């Protein structure tokens, strides 16, 4: 396994399956009231340059449940906010903590942090990718459908960071990914082309559609995300115009498999990318999805810290 998790493509299919299996054990144990202090004495620094509810609380809670400590660091509380270079912060953090989580704008910033840090860096969302989200979503799909291979996933909406991580996942796993994004809001072509190449080997399928109904036809999963991501608020009303017809609603669900599950990474804008009726309806698994961030991320932290075992950390009695 690589040192850092900056994108799904940093993981092999075997890495992903191992993380999902471990997440399953951790979830079952937690449900049974058992916590394993596998990260006793370990510390995670969490740098947030954008807001977060799920990522922040699930990582912090996960570290606590495993006996470690998570430091929730906003930009305003760090010298980076006053201009201290990121490489210096990376080197300093590497002397104190065992792992870094970063949520920021440019993917290059997360990559630079990883380059200068001697410890693992986990991408907690950039403008380009959201790998922890999609790893958790794979777990949720496995939990509900009892399989991942061949699952037909229709992604409807903005070709954004979450869509890019889905595309990467379909390059590594044997998913049947169908994307419908409005013209001008398609996913990055380079990311798409690379994943399509990889999918030839993995047995995955990635196809783009102009009409969401075609993408949703017979789908096991319909997935959507906000039309306007964090940091893209400028000209938002103008942007929304292009998304009419790309809403996940009961009409779209009729095209899918009768047992279709609806997923959304949240936060959602009811009445925009998804109707209230669907988000809160019987097909929706969005809150299971949100819960699973906790279990999967615990498995991610364990896997990446253990790989760097012996670096730091102390055993507390
Ligand atoms: N889905 C997700 O990453 O949520 P937050 O922005 O609340 O962390
Ligand atoms: N695409 C969304 C995901 C939020 C979890 C954003 O970047 O704002």
For residue 145, what pLDDT is reported? 98
For residue 312, what pLDDT is reported? 56
Per residue in 87-127, pLDDT tens? 999 999 999 999 999 999 999 999 999 999 999 999 999 99
The separation between CA 52 and the C-alpha centre of its own chain, rounded to angstroms, equals: 13
> What is the mean pLDDT of the segment spanning 244-257?
98
Shared-domain flag, residues 145 and 278: yes
Q: Which are the contacts of 113, defined by CB distance < 8 A and separation ≥ 6? A: 47, 86, 89, 90, 100, 102, 121
| pLDDT band at residue 306 under the 50/70/90 scheme | confident
Q: Is 119 exposed, middle or buried (0-12, 13-18, 19+ CB in 10 A)?
A: buried
Question: Atom 7 (ligand 2): residue with closest C-alpha?
Answer: 229
Q: Is 88 within a domain?
A: yes
Shared-domain flag, residues 176 and 277: yes
Q: Is 315 within a domain?
A: no
Shared-domain flag, residues 110 and 154: no
- 287 to each of 23, 105, 132, 164, 263, how far by Cα in Å? 17, 26, 16, 22, 9
For residue 236, what pLDDT is reported? 82
Q: Which are the contacts of 258, defined by CB distance < 8 A and separation ≥ 6? A: none
On whether the pTM is more than 0.85, the answer is: yes
Q: Which ligand is nearest to the CA of 227?
A: 2
For residue 35, what pLDDT is reported? 87
Shared-domain flag, residues 152 and 267: yes
Q: Is 317 within a domain?
A: no
Shared-domain flag, residues 149 and 278: yes
| pLDDT band at residue 75 under the 50/70/90 scheme | confident
Q: What phi and psi values does residue 170 have, to the nearest 5 degrees?
A: -70, -20
- In whole angstroms, give the CA distance from residue 140 to residue 59: 17
Q: Is 298 within a domain?
A: yes
Q: Is 316 within a domain?
A: no
Strand partners, 5: 122
Shared-domain flag, residues 138 and 283: yes
| pLDDT band at residue 313 under the 50/70/90 scheme | low
Shared-domain flag, residues 79 and 162: no
Give me the number of domains the chain comprises.
Answer: 2
Ligand 1 center–CA 266 separation, angstroms = 6
- In whole angstroms, give the CA distance from residue 45 to residue 117: 12
**Nearest-CA neighbor of 219 among 283, 134, 297, 306?**
283
Shared-domain flag, residues 272 and 155: yes
**Domain of 299, in residue numbers:** 8-129+293-307
- Ligand 2: residues with CB < 6 A are 125, 160-162, 225-226, 229-230, 265
Q: Is 235 within a domain?
A: yes
164 counts as catalytic: no
Ligand 1 center–CA 173 separation, angstroms = 23
Please list the alpha-helical segments (H only) found in 157-285. 161-172, 189-202, 212-216, 236-241, 250-253, 276-279
293 counts as catalytic: yes
Ligand 1 center–CA 64 separation, angstroms = 19
**DSSP-assigned letters across all residues of 75-127:** GGGSGGGGT--HHHHHHHHHHH-SEEEEE-S-HHHHHHHHHH-SS-EEES--S
CATH of the domain at 15: 3.40.50.1370
Pull the structure tokens for residue 284. 């929706």
For residue 303, what pLDDT is reported? 98
106 within 8 A of 271, measured Cβ to Cβ: no
Q: Is 111 within a domain?
A: yes
Shared-domain flag, residues 49 and 161: no
As a whole number, the mean pLDDT across the chain is 95
Q: Is 313 within a domain?
A: no
| 82-105 CB burial, b ≥16 within 10 A, e <16 | eeeebeebbeebbeebbbbbbbbe
The residue among 105 and 234 whose pLDDT is bigger is 105
Residue 148 has pLDDT above 80, yes or no: yes
Pull the structure tokens for residue 74. 């906003």
For residue 177, what pLDDT is reported? 98
Shared-domain flag, residues 209 and 283: yes
For residue 209, what pLDDT is reported? 98
Shared-domain flag, residues 245 and 139: yes
265 counts as catalytic: yes
Shared-domain flag, residues 71 and 182: no
């Amino acid at each position: 396994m690589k040192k850092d998790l900056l994108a799904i493509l940093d993981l092999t299919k075997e890495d992903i399956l191992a993380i999902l299996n471990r997440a399953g054990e951790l979830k079952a144990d937690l449900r049974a009231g058992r916590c394993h202090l596998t990260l006793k004495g370990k510390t995670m620094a969490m740098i947030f340059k954008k807001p977060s509810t799920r990522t922040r609380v699930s990582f912090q809670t996960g570290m606590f449940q495993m006996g470690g400590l998570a430091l929730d660091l906003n930009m305003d509380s760090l010298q980076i906010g006053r201009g201290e270079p990121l490489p210096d912060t990376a080197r300093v953090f590497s002397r104190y903590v065992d792992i870094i989580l970063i949520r920021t704008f440019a993917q290059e910033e997360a990559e630079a942090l990883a380059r200068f840090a001697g410890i693992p860096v986990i991408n907690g969302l950039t403008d380009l990718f959201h790998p922890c989200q999609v790893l958790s979503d794979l777990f949720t799909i496995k939990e509900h459908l009892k399989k991942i291979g061949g699952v037909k996933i229709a992604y409807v909406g903005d070709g954004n960071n979450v869509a890019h991580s889905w595309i990467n996942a379909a390059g590594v796993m044997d998913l049947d990914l169908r994307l419908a994004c409005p013209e001008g809001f398609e996913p990055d072509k380079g990311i798409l082309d690379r994943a399509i190449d990889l999918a030839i080997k993995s047995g995955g399928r990635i196809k783009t559609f102009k009409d969401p109904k075609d993408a949703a036809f017979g789908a096991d999963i319909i997935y959507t995300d906000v039309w306007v991501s964090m940091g893209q608020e400028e000209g938002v009303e103008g942007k929304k115009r292009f998304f009419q017809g790309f809403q996940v609603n009961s009409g779209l669900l009729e095209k899918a498999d009768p047992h279709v599950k609806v997923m959304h990474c949240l936060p959602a804008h009811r009445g925009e990318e998804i109707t209230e009726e669907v988000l809160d309806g019987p097909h929706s698994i969005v809150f299971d999805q949100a819960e699973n961030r906790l279990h999967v991320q615990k498995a991610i932290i364990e896997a990446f810290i253990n790989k760097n075992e012996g670096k730091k950390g102390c055993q507390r009695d």
